Amino acid sequence: MTISADESAGTREQILVAAYHALEKHGYADLTIGRIGEEFDKSTSLIYHHFDGKDDLLLACLEFMLDQFAGTTAHSDHTDPKSDLESFIEQVLSIEGDAQQYQLMGSLVELRLQSTHNNGYRAHFDRSDLVIQNALAETVTAGIENGVFKQCDPDAVAATIHTLLIGSSVRLVTTGGDGWKTSVRDEMFAYLADRVYA
């Protein structure tokens, strides 16, 4: 996923895009307001005018990213639900081929782990999981209606796929080697062939 601000974007949105790019470059642990300021064309002091600190800014950035994702999926016509589903899975499992997206995934894993002791991050990831699962469920529902998927529970399928992908994301960015990845991909597609595809 890539986000950007158009020329008409206000200062707050420009700061959120700067934070996104700083996360891509530096990750969560090494992120500072100064490094976000390096991605921002205006004075760094403006960041403090709009946000109370790094975590306040990052929460707003996460919400901004999620809103962009939701906006993109809302305009999907679901003409090829099988391809949509498989592309979503492959996008996660092939992430290490793109250094910046890999860094961003690592940052999202780190931020998700903040949920264990930070209610703001917990609330965000609760919402994020729901938005992503709903998007996946809509794809499955479209496949059922188009006759390319068999009758199944779209919400249960969506929750299963999303949970497997979260686990894969964590493993991709926290452990060495990816020998397990082919097996996981194959089993995920075997599940879809058995439980979902007509």
Chain segment 21-33, per-residue pLDDT in tens: 998 888 888 889 9
Q: What tens digit of pLDDT does each residue of 116-128 get?
A: 999 999 999 999 9
* pLDDT computed for residue 141 by the predictor: 96
Q: How far apart are CA 37 and CA 46, in angstroms?
A: 9
Q: Where do you find CATH 1.10.357.10 in the chain? A: 1-75, 79-198
CB atoms within 10 A of CB 49: 10
Residue 86, pLDDT score: 93
pLDDT at 195 over 90: yes
Instruction: Give the CB-side neighbour count of residue 28, counting CA atoms within 13 A.
Output: 19
Look up the pTM and report it.
Answer: 0.87
175 pLDDT tier (thresholds 50, 70, 90): confident
Measure the CA–CA gap between 178 and 96, rounded to whole angstroms: 10
- Once rounded to an integer, what is the mean pLDDT over residues 161-181? 89
CATH of domain 1-75: 1.10.357.10
> What average pLDDT does the chain have?
89
Instruction: Annotate 107-122 with b (16+ C-beta within 10 A) or e (fewer).
Output: bbbbbbebeeeeeebe
Task: For residue 6, name the pLDDT band (cuts at 50, 70, 90).
Answer: low
CATH of 79-198, one of 3.30.1490.20, 3.20.20.140, 1.10.150.240, 1.10.357.10: 1.10.357.10
pLDDT value for 156: 97
149: β partners:
197
Residue 169: helix, strand or coil by DSSP?
Answer: helix
- Of residues 97 and 42, more confidence is placed in 42
How does pLDDT run across 56-111, given as a tens digit for each residue? Answer: 999 999 999 998 888 777 667 778 999 999 999 998 888 766 788 888 889 999 99
pLDDT tier, 181 (very low <50, low <70, confident <90, very high otherwise)? confident
3-state secondary structure of 149: strand
**Could you tell me what percent of the chain has a pLDDT over 90?**
58
Q: C-alpha distances in angstroms, 99 versus 13, 27, 94, 110, 174?
A: 24, 11, 11, 17, 15
Distances (CA, A) of 38 to 24, 43, 84, 177, 181: 13, 9, 36, 33, 36
Residue 2 binned pLDDT confidence (cut-offs 50, 70, 90): low
* Separation of alpha carbons 168 and 170, rounded Å: 5
State the Cα–Cα distance between residues 87 and 133, nearest whole angstrom.
15
